[in-house]
Amino acid sequence: MTSDNRMTIPRSLCPVLLILATSTVFAGDKPPNILLILADDVGCETLGCYGGRSYKTPHLDKLAATGLRFRHCYAMPVCHPTRTCLLTGRYPRHLGHPRWGSFPATDERHALGHAMKAAKYATAIAGKWQIAMLGKDLDHPHRLGFDEYCLFGWHEGPRYHQPLLWQNGKRRPDVKDRYGPDVYCEFLIDFIRRHRNGPFLAFYSMALCHDVTDDLDHPVPYAAGKDHYDTYKEMLEAMDVRVGRMIGALEDLGLRGNTLVLFTTDNGTSKRSLHQAIDGKYIRRPVSSLLGKTRVPGGKGNLSDDGTHVPLIANWPGRIRPGGVSDQLVDMSDFLPTLHELAGRRPTSGRAVKIDGRSFAGILTGRGGSKRTWAYAERGKQFFVRTQQWKLYNNGKLFHASRDPNEQEPVAAADVPRAARDDIARLRRALETIDRGHPFPRRKSK
């Protein structure tokens, strides 16, 4: 790790993400299978295990109760930047701010899928792709290191009822009467069954709980027998059911003990959700949820906590102590180096490209190790760095985030409590050094 909160990864072997030396994380142990679940438009306030009261989430609540729940995980406030960050371990600003629906071509061979393949993992992804017009580039998931995929592309067709899906380079002809989330689960369960001897990475990039797409030349269909689209409540509870289905499949296959399940989300809860399409006009309803006794409006798109503070649950029977709660900081750049380490791989010498993430594998297993001292999120040219308590924007505005999550009262430098001065100084240094070592090349995106 570097002293400025980031990690370097070598670039000298072109066809593979990293030159890596085999180094078992847990000596003598078999690397774990990994089920990575990324839900869409789901803030912390929606889940019972985080204090939410509006929706029933028994499967996720159980996952947290028997695993480890993080209090301080942060994503970008919208989906595309979060996904590019998670897949590369690099902040979008260090990827040249890829335009919506694209991925930097020069970073394809440095993505998560290739890293796991280098560690002898079978890799698959199902659900949302978002980072390309998939129908025009059906090899794109393969180029990012996924052996198999079943995905809907970026605003190409329905993702829920009568979905338009692409699977391993071809359009699925057999899903006209299906519910997309069931198809995604079935695909991944079949992949897991075929690779039960492991290790595997199964990435469930959920469609739920994003509302239906509204930019086609005709409205997408309702569910059979309904006169409206699924409500946010219906989608949230359907999401929990699919999480339970995936966990149940692991148990049925006898794989639960050697499978790490990670659940997180791409940004905060939607502000509004599409309810109906009438005479070519879309009707939207606001989304809000009860967190304890407080009603929290959806905050997707905001850089405040309602848009960037997301759940993170880790569950690995026999490895992660049940019922744990972590106050350690995590952001979306950390998943790639964490999975590297869990796969038993270590970087060696060579010409390096700096990544922003740092592994939280030691936190999962209680081994400790270096910990992140600040987390990051951005939207466009605006970004922040933060601790658990304090949040500093690149425009200089400072907020006591734990007391003022809606950022109504900026704190003047003269008013910073003495006990917080070291933390604030660390955040100011982070702003000054965050781009150090990043060349900001012009990138071709596909």
pLDDT (tens digit, 9 = 90+) per residue, 203-234? Answer: 999 999 999 998 888 899 999 999 999 999 99
Mean pLDDT along residues 55-60: 99
- pLDDT above 70: residue 441: no
pLDDT value of residue 353? 72
Q: How many CB atoms lie within 10 A of CB 290?
A: 15
Q: In this predicted structure, which of 65-69, 343-347, 359-363 has the lowest mean pLDDT?
A: 343-347
Taking 50 as the threshold, does the pLDDT of residue 165 lie above it?
yes
pLDDT band at 188 (very low <50, low <70, confident <90, very high): very high
E-strand ranges in 84-236 read 122-128, 148-152, 166-167, 170-171, 200-205
Q: What is the pLDDT of residue 432?
A: 96
Of 9-23, 82-96, 261-275, give the lowest mean pLDDT range: 9-23
User: Average pLDDT of 363-371?
Assistant: 84
pLDDT at position 366 is 86
Residue type, 294: T
The pLDDT, as a whole number, for residue 440 is 64
pLDDT band at 442 (very low <50, low <70, confident <90, very high): low
The confidence band for 352, taking pLDDT boundaries of 50, 70 and 90, is: low
Q: For residues 68-102, b (16+ Cβ closer than 10 Å) or e, as one string?
A: bbbbbbbbbbbbbbbbbbbbbbbbbbbbbbbeebb
Q: Percentage of residues in the chain with pLDDT exceeding 90?
A: 81
Task: Tell me the per-residue pLDDT of 302-321, one tens digit each, with 9 for 90 and over.
Answer: 999 999 999 999 999 999 99
- Give mean pLDDT, residues 71-93: 97
Query: How big is the CA angle at 53 (ends 214 and 67), to the nearest 5 degrees?
Result: 95
pLDDT at 130: 87
Q: Which residues contact 421 (CB under 8 A, 6 or more apart)?
A: none
Residue 268 tokens read as 């905060």
Average confidence score pLDDT of the chain? 91
Mean pLDDT, to the nearest integer, of 137-157?
A: 95
What pTM value is reported for the model? Answer: 0.92
DSSP assignment of 252-309 equals: HTT-GGGEEEEEEESSS--SEEEEEEETTEEEEEE-EEEETTEEEE--TT-SSHHHHE
d(CA 398, CA 406): 12
Q: How far apart are alpha carbons 281 and 262 in whole angstroms? A: 38
For domain 7-374, the CATH superfamily is: Alkaline Phosphatase, subunit A (3.40.720.10)
Q: Averaged over 270-275, what is the pLDDT?
A: 97
**Token reading at 292:** 């304890």
Q: pLDDT for 386-438, tens place per residue?
A: 999 999 999 999 999 999 999 999 999 999 999 999 999 999 999 999 999 88
Residue 157 in this model has a pLDDT that exceeds 70: yes
